[in-house]
């Protein structure tokens, strides 16, 4: 029957497609995990993600104060001890992991999207469009972000992770935009782009099929680095009071321990716990970005 034959042909085509895509996926995973730095960096970041997801379920945070149990030493009940209000520091750090990673993820997305789109448009179109975008980019590059954060702290208070991520990304996209623009300007002079232009292929095809694959690895690396920078920025913003106070935020824990006096050794210990988490996460992102660069950048591959 024709219907049965068509169905078998469809199933065979679908099977070939799934096998090809599956093989491509496996090759991509092998390539991704072919570098030791990538494996270590990805594993550490995955650990933080799992802590953010399952940590609050296993170790729920209690925000109630208990002055009678303030500054307790580390124990099985309180692995990191308690702060000056009797709150469990270990559960504080775990509860703050989710919000910190959420801010970093959203900020990286906004930064990469804005920087990549404007960089491609500026580099590919050129002319007056390029001049306008570069003028705006230079403004954002020339104005330091920290005084702006101090000014905003006196005017508004950020209450959600997404709004905080927007504030961070607004002052983070300019460098990526300029780098993407330079790469696009170099690529569009290559022979394969000139051939596409002569063949009157659409700009959408040239951008998404020809240019984007050639800068994807750079975008991926900058996404990881944007997460790293966002972690530091979010902690700094919490320290200057731009964001609404959250006792579980790593920056808030550091600031509170600092303001309670570092002459008290117990406050130093409380400050060190989130600081170590920040340092470990920074190392993980550096390892992952360097590993991706060595894996995806053909100029760094050893012949």
CATH code, 212: 1.10.3720.10
pLDDT bracket for residue 302 (50, 70, 90): very low
pLDDT at 303: 42
pLDDT at 111: 92
In this structure, is residue 55 part of a structural domain? no
pLDDT digit string, tens, across residues 94-122? 998 988 888 889 999 999 999 999 998 88
In this structure, is residue 89 part of a structural domain? yes
47 or 259, which is more confident? 47
263 or 256, which is more confident? 256
SS3 186: helix
Q: How many CB atoms lie within 10 A of CB 107?
A: 27
pLDDT digit string, tens, across residues 123-133? 888 888 889 99
Between the two ends of the chain, the Cα-to-Cα distance in Å is 56
In this structure, is residue 3 part of a structural domain? no
Q: Which two tokens stand for residue 284?
A: 């993980």
Q: Say how far residue 139 (Cα) sits from the centre of its chain.
A: 24
Q: Which two tokens stand for residue 97?
A: 């992991």
pLDDT bracket for residue 151 (50, 70, 90): confident
DSSP letter, residue 143: S
In this structure, is residue 93 part of a structural domain? yes
C-alpha pair distances (Å), 289 with each of 32, 102, 104, 294: 11, 19, 15, 9
Q: Which two tokens stand for residue 149?
A: 């954060």
Q: Say how far residue 119 (Cα) sits from the centre of its chain.
A: 19
In this structure, is residue 269 part of a structural domain? yes
In this structure, is residue 2 part of a structural domain? no
pLDDT mean across residues, the chain: 80
pLDDT at 285: 87
d(CA 47, CA 49) in angstroms, rounded, equals: 5
Domain that holds residue 272: 81-300
Average pLDDT over residues 172-197: 84
Average pLDDT over residues 222-239: 82
pLDDT at 143: 81
pLDDT at 261: 73
pLDDT digit string, tens, across residues 30-60? 666 677 788 888 899 999 999 999 999 999 8
Counted domains in the chain? 1
d(CA 192, CA 128) in angstroms, rounded, equals: 25
pLDDT at 115: 92
pLDDT at 49: 92
**Contact predicate 192/210, CB 8 Å:** yes
- Is 242 a residue whose pLDDT tops 80? no
In this structure, is residue 275 part of a structural domain? yes
In this structure, is residue 47 part of a structural domain? no
Average pLDDT over residues 190-204: 76
């Amino acid at each position: 029957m024709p219907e049965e034959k068509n169905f078998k042909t469809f199933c065979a085509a679908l099977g070939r497609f799934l096998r090809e895509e599956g093989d491509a996926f496996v090759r991509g995973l092998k390539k991704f995990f072919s570098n030791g730095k990538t494996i270590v960096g990805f594993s550490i970041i995955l650990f933080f993600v799992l802590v953010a997801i399952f940590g609050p379920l296993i170790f729920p945070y209690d925000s109630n104060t208990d002055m009678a149990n303030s500054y307790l030493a580390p124990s099985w009940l309180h692995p990191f001890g308690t702060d000056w209000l009797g709150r469990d520091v270990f559960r504080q750090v775990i509860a703050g992991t989710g919000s910190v990673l959420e801010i970093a993820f959203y900020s990286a997305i906004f930064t990469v999207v804005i920087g990549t789109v404007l960089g491609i448009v500026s580099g590919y179109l050129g002319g007056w469009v390029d001049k306008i975008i570069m003028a705006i980019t230079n403004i954002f590059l020339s104005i330091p972000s920290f005084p702006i954060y101090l000014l905003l702290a006196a005017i508004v208070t950020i209450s959600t992770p997404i709004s905080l991520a927007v504030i961070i990304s607004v002052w983070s996209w300019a460098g990526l935009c300029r780098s993407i623009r330079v790469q696009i300007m170099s690529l569009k002079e290559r022979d394969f782009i000139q051939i596409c232009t002569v063949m009157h292929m659409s700009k959408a095809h040239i951008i998404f099929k020809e240019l984007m694959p050639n800068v994807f690895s750079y975008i991926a690396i900058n996404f990881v680095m944007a997460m790293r920078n966002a972690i530091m920025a979010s902690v700094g913003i919490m320290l200057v009071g731009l964001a609404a106070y959250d006792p579980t935020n790593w920056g808030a824990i550091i600031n509170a321990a600092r303001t309670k006096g570092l002459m008290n050794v117990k406050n130093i210990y409380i400050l060190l716990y989130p600081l170590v988490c920040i340092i470990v996460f920074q190392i993980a992102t550096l390892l992952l970005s360097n590993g991706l660069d060595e894996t995806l950048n053909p100029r760094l591959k050893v012949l």
